[in-house]
Every structure is written in C-alpha cells, then in structure tokens.
Amino acid sequence: MLAWIFGPVAGNRVDLHRPDCAAGVLDLQRARVRWFLSVNAEHLPDGGSAKGQRTFRSVSVDGEDVEFSQGFTDLHTENYRQILAGRGAGLDDAATAIHMVHAIRTAQPAGVQPDSHPLCERAG
C-alpha cells in the first residue's frame, strides 16, 4: 500500500531487528516512512495495554495522526472474501511488497539512529 500511494522505494534502512520487534526507515519517492512492528505488548504506546488494547496501528502524514487500530480484523476478513470470490489481488499486485519485506528481512540492522521511530526507545 505504501508504494502504491507514495511511489517506489528509493532507500531502505533497518534500525532494529529482534525476535519480538523490528524498526526502520523507508524512503519512498514521495514520503519518508519511519516504521516499527512489534509483537511485544510492552511496546504499546502509553495507555494501550492499560485499556486492554492488544494492537496499535497509526500513521502520521504531514503532522496529522490517524489511528486505525480498531476494525482492522474486518478488513482482513473482507479481503479473504474477495480472494475466495476470485476478485483478490494477484502476485503481480503483491510483488513490490514481497521485495520490500525480503530486503527488510535480509538487511543488516544499522542500530537505533536519532531519526529512528520513537517507539524504538521502548524496545531498549
């Protein structure tokens, strides 16, 4: 989705790559994306785990924050319905994402940088 909206990948830096989390920076044609993925509830932003929240998803574009943690499961379910109905995305549609994920998984982590995602601090 990111490459579809913001253009092709111009650069990719992985800052952190551990069994419970990973983080980095993707430079796209029209955006710089600081990303952080974790399966560790201790990495949730303040208040998330206190509210019983198991996931946190947000994006900030030009200083505007949008959280979309709720309802994401429904999106996946609808996507699976479309696939089963023969209207899903094909391999060509997913190729950019597959290449991006491969580059992230095989990159040598650079270590946390001053411009790393702020949640890297929680990961220690």
CB 26 within 8 A of CB 115: no
The pTM of this model reads 0.80
Start-to-end Cα distance in the chain:
29
Q: In which residue are the tokens 């430079």 written?
A: 27
Q: In which residue are the tokens 């909206």 written?
A: 5
Query: What is the per-residue pLDDT for 27?
Result: 94
Query: Tens-of-pLDDT digits for all 124 residues of the chain?
Result: 788 889 999 999 999 999 999 999 999 999 999 999 998 888 887 755 546 667 777 788 888 888 777 766 677 788 889 889 998 878 887 898 899 999 999 999 999 999 999 888 888 7
Domain-wise residue ranges, the chain: 2-123
Q: Which DSSP category does 61 fall into? A: E
- For 2-123, the fitting CATH number among 2.60.40.10, 3.30.470.20, 3.30.360.10, 3.40.50.2300 is 3.30.360.10
Rg of the chain over all Cα atoms, to the nearest angstrom: 16
Give CA–CA dist 120/117, Å, rounded.
6
Query: What is the per-residue pLDDT for 51?
Result: 63
